[in-house]
Each structure stands twice: as structure tokens, then as C-alpha cells.
Amino acid sequence: MPRIAGSAGRAFAFYGIALGLAVAAALSAPLTGEASPLLTMFTPALAVAVTLGFLAPEGGFRAALAGLGLDRAGLRAWPVAIAVPALIFGVGLALMALAGLTQVAIPAATAPFGLVLLKVATGFVAQMLFSLAEEVGWRGYMLPRMGGFRILPAMLLVGFLHGVWHLPLMLATDFYHPGGDARLVVPMFLLTLTLAGVFYGFLRLWTGSIWPVALAHAATNTVWDLIGKFSQARSALAVEYVGGESGFVMIGGLIVVALVIRRAMPRLDSGF
């Protein structure tokens, strides 16, 4: 099988495989049921394996780890990776509470505190695994191989394509963002992922590591889940459109983050 020539060629070859696998996972939902979202999450990692193994090999195992950003922890970015999504969701919860759209409520304890913490930690580890399976494709493989693109447009494009990759699951099944009007939910979701591409891309380029990106992705999912447990929304649609993971507050927060990153990193005008 011929190798894919050119850096961007490798990136888009990977994307074609990942999107095709996502479509297959969505179409198989009648058979796989609730497992289809989990299967979808692992398609970017599988697409990376196929691309590196058959279409565009880039050296041995160690070279692959380094090229994907798996060979370093990027510890200096971990606090930022956790704090940014937590802050945005926290602001969203506060605004919704002030507007009377939700009520903060601590659920009654049904288990010892230590067991609750263990459950949260176990859930976060699982989220980290799923997030890594995604991000090893988007920011681990695809973003650094966007040769011919300037850095900021590449971040935005990879973020947008990451959003498009979700659409087969969103539009063909009821397992992901089933509420709301798709004519509004889908554009908001795509805008959110496009903007998030700047934050995730920044973490990747700042540290050379994929781990902070996976951590930020996992923190987003975990904080969102915890907020759902510690609040009682008066309207599911209000959550979807206002304070949800792709609501107006998240979009506004990511715009602010993108502007700060743009100002702090002049090199975003350069190319890969």
C-alpha cells in the first residue's frame, strides 16, 4: 500500500479513517446499543494505529510515542488543564442559579464519604482513558501534522473536524445530545469544539505532550457530570442551551480563553 506523501496528507488520511470508523460505530448502534458511544471514542486511536502501521509509518515504537506526545507528562500544564473547564462550568452554574434556571443541591449521601471519593476517582480515571483514546488522534497525531497550515487556523480546523466526527453518533442515535433542536444544538456543538481546539492545541504545543490535553478533556466531562449531580435544573433545554457542555456560557468562556492564548502566543501566526 503506498505511503501518504506530505504532512497534511497524513493528517487527513488519519481523519478519513477516524470518520469512517465513527460512521460504522453509529450505524452499528442497533446491535451494539449503549456500547456505541464507547466504541466511537476509541476510533481515533484505532485510526492512528492504522495510519502509523500501514499508510504512513514514522519509525519504531519509541518514535511513535514521541510523535504522539505520549513520551512526556507535561506536568506544568496540568493545573491549567483542570482549572479552565472547572472555572467555565462554575461560572455557568452560578449564572444559571442566579437566573433561576437551576438550584444548587447537595445530594443525600448513600455511602461513606471515602467510597464516594473512590467512585469519583475511578470515574475520572475511566474518563481519562476515553479522552486519551480520542486526543491521541486529534491533538496527538493530527494537529502536529498539519503541514502547510498556520498554527491558529490548524487548531481551529482540527477542533471543527473533531466536532464533525461526533455527528454520526449525534444524528443517527439517541446516545449523545438527544435533547433540543438539532438545528441549534449541532451548530453550537461544532462551534464549541472548534473553539476548544485552540485550548487543547495550546496545551499540546506548550508542553509537547498529549497528557495535559487528555486531562483537560477528562476534566471537562467529569466536572460536567458532577455539576449535574450537585444541581437540579428546572429545564433540560436551559442546561443544553445555556450552561451545558456546548451551551452559550461554554462558548463565551472558550472565546475568552482563545483570545488570551492568542495574545500570549505570538507564534500562533507561524506555520507547522
Residue 147, domain member (yes or no): yes
Q: Tell me which DSSP letter residue 210 carries.
A: S
Q: Which domain holds residue 208?
A: 7-269
Residue 2, domain member (yes or no): no
Find cell 487543547 and name the residue.
Answer: 200
What phi and psi, each to the nearest 5 degrees, are found at residue 5? -85, 140
> In the prediction, which pLDDT does 179 show?
79
Alpha carbon of 203 to those of 136, 211, 229: distances in Å? 13, 9, 28
Total domain count for the chain?
A: 1
**Rounded to an integer, what distance in angstroms lies between the CA atom of residue 93 and that of residue 221?**
15
**Rounded to an integer, what distance in angstroms lies between the CA atom of residue 147 and that of residue 272?**
5
Cα-Cα-Cα-Cα torsion 239, 164, 207, 258, nearest 10 degrees, comes to: -60
> Can you say whether residue 5 is alpha, beta or left, with left for phi > 0 and alpha for psi between -120 and 50 degrees?
beta
pTM: 0.94
Residue 74, domain member (yes or no): yes
> In the prediction, which pLDDT does 153 show?
95
Residue 31, domain member (yes or no): yes
Q: Which amino acid is at 115?
A: L
Residue 1, domain member (yes or no): no
Q: What is the pLDDT of residues 11-45, one digit of tens each?
A: 999 999 999 999 999 999 999 999 999 999 999 99
> In the prediction, which pLDDT does 2 show?
41
User: For a pLDDT cut of 70, what percent of the chain falls above it?
Assistant: 96
Q: What are the residue ranges of helices labelled H in the chain?
A: 7-27, 29-32, 36-41, 43-50, 61-67, 78-98, 113-135, 151-172, 182-207, 211-229, 236-238, 248-264
Which 3 state secondary structure label does DSSP give 233?
strand
C-alpha cell of residue 190: 461544532
C-alpha cell of residue 261: 492564548
Cα four-point dihedral sign 254, 260, 264, 270: positive
